[in-house]
Structures are given as C-alpha cells and as structure tokens.
Amino acid sequence: MRTRKTPDQRRTEILDAALRLFLDKGFTEVQIEHIRAETGLSRGGFYHHFGSKTAVMQALVDREQQGLASAAGPDLLALLTKGSAYLRAGSGVEESLSQAEDITLYLGFLEAAQDFHLAPLIETALSKDGPLPMPAEHAAQIILSVNHRITRQVMFGVWTDAQAVDFTRSALLACETMLGRKGLFAPVLAAFEERS
C-alpha cells in the first residue's frame, strides 16, 4: 500500500530534488519537467505546490534563511559567520546561478528572507547589552544592507572573495564605531582572519 505524503513532506521533497538538480545542471538548464521527473509528480501535482521554477527558487532561499535563523538564534557571531558565503560549508541555490536575471531574482528573494528571518534576531542580539545610539531595528538594517551589497558585488563578479572580506572588515569596524561598541564584532573578524 502506498503511503500518502503530507503537503509539507511533498514540498520538502520537491525542494530537495530541485536543489540537487539546480546544483548539478545549473538553475537555467533545469525545467519544471526535470523536477517532476525527479519527484514522480504529475504536472498538476507540481503546480499544486509551486506555480513556477522561480517560486521554487524563492522557497529554497526562504528555507535556507529560516534554517540559518533556527541554527543561530539571536547569537550575533553565529548569524554573521554561518550566514557568510566565505565561512560556511554547504551548497545553496546561489551556486547554481549564472544568468544576471536569475541572480537579480535570487538577490531580491534573499533580501526579503533575511529581513523576515534574520533582522529580528540581529535586533535582539544587538540590544542584549543595553541601549544603542539608534533604534536596534535601524542598526540591524544597516548590517543587512552591508551584507546585501557584498553579496551583490560578489555574485555579479565585481569583487573577488578577498575584496569582499576586506570590505566586510572595514564595514564591521565602522558599525562598531557607529554603535559605540568597540570589539562587538571581534569574534566575527577573528573568524574571517582564520579563513584568510
């Protein structure tokens, strides 16, 4: 007798299969038919869960950021190092992207997912040692904006990883000064030094 999967189980199966295919063939080369064949779903079965390949990408990005948020919690060091493309292990959907329009879509999805999942945790982490010279929400958005800029520059090939790491150091030191918290990012900077 066949076991019926729950909608969440089926979505996970689709996302896992899509990520494998994206990483193997590249996002541009994968068609919905490939994902359907990998999962054994009918066309209607696939579209019941996702309206397009782009919707699959968005769900993968959201899942990655939700996973980071769950793993790190309101721990600033964990949020900034586990979320760094230069420090973490594992392959994400971004590694399957080669076309500018796909990268642009990804970056929009990433920004929205980080605003939803990570910004509140960064706010909490920044606030735990007392008041800041600005609202914690503003400080979290500045940190995420710097992160988005670095990610964009690297993904579009404007900066090398070394240039991105150098800019990250400068940006974190500037954020320490702005927040009046000298040494706040010292553990993050040390993690970058270990990898350099």
- Based on the number of CB atoms within 10 Å of its own CB, is 182 exposed (0-12), middle (13-18) or buried (19 or more)? exposed
Give the residue-averaged pLDDT of 73-100.
Answer: 79
Q: What is the reported pTM?
A: 0.91
Q: What is the CATH number of the domain that holds 31?
A: 1.10.10.60
Q: How confident is the model at residue 83 (pLDDT cuts 50, 70, 90)?
A: low
Both 174 and 107 in one domain: the answer is yes
Q: Of 47, 174, 152, nearest to 94 (Cα)?
A: 152
Both 22 and 119 in one domain: the answer is no
**Residues 120-171: tens digit of each pLDDT:** 999 999 999 889 999 999 999 999 999 999 999 999 999 998 898 899 999 9
Both 72 and 140 in one domain: the answer is yes
Both 105 and 185 in one domain: the answer is yes
Mean of pLDDT over the chain: 91
Q: Which two tokens stand for residue 76?
A: 């600033």
- Identify whether the C-beta of residue 147 lies closer than 8 Å to the C-beta of residue 164: no
Both 45 and 67 in one domain: the answer is no
Both 45 and 132 in one domain: the answer is no
Both 136 and 161 in one domain: the answer is yes
Asked whether residue 87 carries a pLDDT value surpassing 80, the answer given is no
Both 68 and 42 in one domain: the answer is no
- Domain limits at 81? 54-195
From the CB of residue 170, how many other CB atoms can be counted at a distance below 10 Å? 11
Asked whether residue 51 carries a pLDDT value surpassing 60, the answer given is yes
Count of structural domains within the chain: 2
From the CB of residue 40, how many other CB atoms can be counted at a distance below 10 Å? 9
Both 121 and 35 in one domain: the answer is no
Angle CA 100–104–105, to nearest 5: 120
Determine the pLDDT at residue 5.
Answer: 86
Give the residue-averaged pLDDT of 91-119.
Answer: 95
Determine the pLDDT at residue 89.
Answer: 47
Both 12 and 77 in one domain: the answer is no
Determine the pLDDT at residue 85.
Answer: 57
Higher pLDDT, 87 or 123: 123
Q: Of 56, 32, 54, nearest to 44 (Cα)?
A: 32
Give the residue-averaged pLDDT of 86-115.
Answer: 87
User: Which range in 35-39, 68-72, 91-95 is most confidently predicted, on average pLDDT?
Assistant: 35-39
- Identify whether the C-beta of residue 139 lies closer than 8 Å to the C-beta of residue 132: yes
Both 84 and 39 in one domain: the answer is no
Both 135 and 97 in one domain: the answer is yes
